[in-house]
Chain A
Amino acid sequence: KNQVEQSPQSLIILEGKNCTLQCNYTVSPFSNLRWYKQDTGRGPVSLTIMTFSENTKSNGRYTATLDADTKQSSLHITASQLSDSASYICVAAFGGYNKLIFGAGTRLAVHP
């Protein structure tokens, strides 16, 4: 069964601190792994896309890693800001047309 699991479900950190979100996926045939940020009341916004040959990709203070062997990915946020408060969704794409399987998301709250 194609599925994506994320942990933790929610996380609270203080402004300026770092954090790491985890994702395990099972999709076949695997195409790529994506991380999205979703602010409350808005649509998801793409942060990174990684194929099986890429093991790390950065977008500003966001760094995603991918281990295609263990089917695990992580999203590391450096020097968090209040604006980082959002849901972070791990998404695995499979098949020739990149059908997307979404995780339930990690809800991050950054407090001053």
Chain B
Amino acid sequence: EAGVTQFPSHSVIEKGQTVTLRCDPISGHDNLYWYRRVMGKEIKFLLHFVKESKQDESGMPNNRFLAERTGGTYSTLKVQPAELEDSGVYFCASSQGLGGAGKTQYFGPGTRLLVL
């Protein structure tokens, strides 16, 4: 069974540009999460989808970030316009079942974003 995949693995863009990150969860997983680790800091929650609905987006930094999960399958995270402080590693994770309580979250390899 394929794990969580993310694309691209790396992205280098200039300040003010737009970048779109993609996450394909494990097939059949209703829960999809986005996380971010900025340099030297711990991983932090961004948002949680249950199927196609946003369950919790309290971790989204500001309105330059837009996440979508059309059809409840893959998800995209768009940053527009990108700022220097957006640099970091963006992780996606998925888990089975509704609610996510107590369920193992399987992480993708991450997308390393560098904003110059």
Contact = CB atoms under 8 A, between A and B. Distances in A.
A97 B100 contact: yes
Given A97-B56, A99-B45, A102-B42, A42 B105 contact: no
Interface residues of A, number: 24
Interface in A20-76: 31-32, 36, 41-46, 49, 51
A31 B48 contact: no
B37 to A, nearest CB: 8
B64 interface: no
A89 B43 contact: yes
Given A43-B108, A45-B107, A99 B56 contact: yes
A98 interface: yes
B44 A98 contact: no
Interface residues of B, number: 25
Interface in A75-112: 89, 93, 96-105
B99 A41 contact: no
A10 to B, nearest CB: 13
Interface of B: 4, 33, 35, 41-45, 48, 55-56, 91, 93, 99-110
Residue of A46, A98, A105 most packed against chain B (CB within 10 A): A98
Interface of A: 4, 31-32, 36, 41-46, 49, 51, 89, 93, 96-105
Contacts of B45: 99-101
B109 A42 contact: yes
B107 A97 contact: no
A100 B31 CA distance: 13
Given A43-B108, A97-B56, A102 B101 contact: no
Contacts of A99: 45, 48, 56
A104 to B, nearest CB: 5
Given A42-B110, A97-B48, 6 more contacts: A31-B102, A43-B108, A43-B109, A46-B105, A49-B102, A89-B43
Nearest to B92: A43
Given A41-B109, A97-B56, A51 B102 contact: yes
A97 B109 contact: no
